[in-house]
Amino acid sequence: MSVESEVSLDGKKATITVKGRFDFGSHQAFRDAYEKFYKVPEIYVVDLKETTYMDSSALGMLLLLRDHAGGDDAEVQVVNSNSDVRKILAISNFDKLFDLT
**For residue 73, what is the domain's CATH number?**
3.30.750.24
Tell whether the model's pLDDT for residue 71 goes beyond 90: yes
Residues above pLDDT 70, as percent of the chain: 100
What's the whole-number mean pLDDT along residues 41-66? 96
Give the DSSP letter of residue 95.
G
Q: How far apart are CA 88 and CA 59, in angstroms?
A: 9
Under 8 Å between Cβ of 30 and 1: no
Residue type, 37: F
- The number of folded domains in the chain is 1
**Domain range holding 25?**
2-100
Q: What is the pLDDT of residue 25?
A: 95
Tell whether the model's pLDDT for residue 101 goes beyond 90: no
Helices (DSSP H) in the chain: which residue ranges? 27-35, 56-69, 83-91
